[in-house]
Structure 1
């Protein structure tokens, strides 16, 4: 039984009953990146009270969206096949919500999982098909991402490897993705710092990942 019952016989109302409670969809978002232990989920959602996290995990398990699984002698939470069907929904919501983001507030953080999903939302495979394969390293606040684009294939992870360009930035990455901040201007004003590689490749990044604000 869902925590909230809207009393309507409708697919949308049922979906909201299952994943519409506060924090539930962000838990799903983070598990779309990778299975996580309880502590990893808590660390990725620093404002979630522990009792709420426990309650949401229990509700999502009861709904068949997530499950507990043993991994190397620890228990992780992972999406079920039913839960993974939410990926296009989450990506579409991310693209839709991007239009209303505005400027970042001082207390807001960028987590690795949130940025990975934002990049997945912004990825333009049709554009990438016309560009050479490129690897990027992006330091976004405390998040460090390794981004590989090869045609219409995208891989974003917290790993590392050889890259064509490495850069550091913060919330300005969202202005870059929206087209509000031109790549050259971003570098000139110090909003993006090129750590190594060719700075002009930041323009390729901005073309490959784009969401209209």
Structure 2
């Protein structure tokens, strides 16, 4: 098999082994925008590092904790390359903290689009997989389309395990963020697996409520509007 691989692919085949080998780069040598993007961020773990920064700055130890399976040398190598590309930089005076640059933020829509695509591929989790609450919330960010209710102005709060997030819908924009909402119209409380499964369409929100896996408080009508913004309900289903 290796004999049939190009030289650039052979270099990448061992990239998981150490920080030194991880710095060897794949290059498709194709004059194509997609190939160029994959040359830059197509290595394993790179887009998951970007995912971890979509909700704001993260410390190195937080990145390592939320990327189970990545070695510290490989994480350092991925961050180094992202910094060299101008996509990530250190966050102010905080030690070993990183955030996306303005150029890195340009990847947001593409990464969320990939997340939407991947949500459709999910099945029920096996015992050996891990899940984090903010991964589920990023699915919410990927699903949200405030243009479904362009006149709407309200916020929804999501309490997932021990983390809190909110989605503010205003002026046709959906703005996801960590932390509680100032005045949430609806509060949803659940666990990370249920949160992801609702987003993946594996369980209906009302089915999760009936099963005791999801609790909704606040304005009952707001739950319907939230479902519509997230594409979990159709306009004809709303009263």
In structure 2, the residue matched to 1:103 is: 124
| 1:23 Cα deviation after fit | 0.9
SS at match of 1:120: helix
TM-score normalized with structure 2 length: 0.75
- Pick 1 or 2: higher relative contact order, CA cutoff 8 A, min separation 6: 1
Which residue in 2 is equivalent to 1:162?
183
Alignment partner of 1:6: what SS? Answer: coil
Structure 2 CA distance for partners of 1:130 and 1:185, relative to 1, 3 Å: farther
Equivalent of 1:16 in 35, 38, 52 = 38
Cα pair distance change 1:181/1:204, threshold 3 Å: farther
Question: Which of 1 and 2 has greater Rg?
Answer: 2
* Structure 1 gaps, min length 5: none
- The CA RMSD measured in Å over matched residues stands at 2.5
The runs of 5 or more residues in structure 2 that have no matched partner are 1-22, 234-239
**Contact 2:148–2:229 (Cα < 8 Å) also in 1:** yes
- Aligned 1:44-193 pairs, distance under 5 A: 44-71=66-93, 73-106=94-127, 107-112=129-134, 114-131=135-152, 133-160=153-180, 161-170=182-191, 171-177=193-199, 181-193=203-215
Runs of 4+ in 1 over 4 A off after TM superposition: none
**Which stretch shows the higher mean deviation, 11-20 or 76-85?**
76-85
1:101 to 1:22, Cα distance in 2 relative to 1, 3 A? same
Q: Tell me: CA distance 1:140–1:158, structure 2 relative to 1, closer, same or farther (3 Å).
A: same
Counterpart contact for 1:147–1:155, Cα < 8 Å: yes
Residues 180 and 29 from structure 1, CA distance in 2 versus in 1: closer, same or farther, beyond 3 angstroms?
closer
1:145 Cα deviation after fit: 1.2
Shift of 1:35: 2.1
Contact map agreement 2:145 2:174 (CA 8 A) in 1 = no
Superposed CA deviations along residues 146-165 of structure 1, whole A, max 9, x for unmatched, are: 22222422232222233222
Deviation at 1:90, TM superposition (A): 0.8
User: Structure 1's 128 and 48: CA in aligned 2 closer, same or farther, altered over 3 A?
Assistant: farther
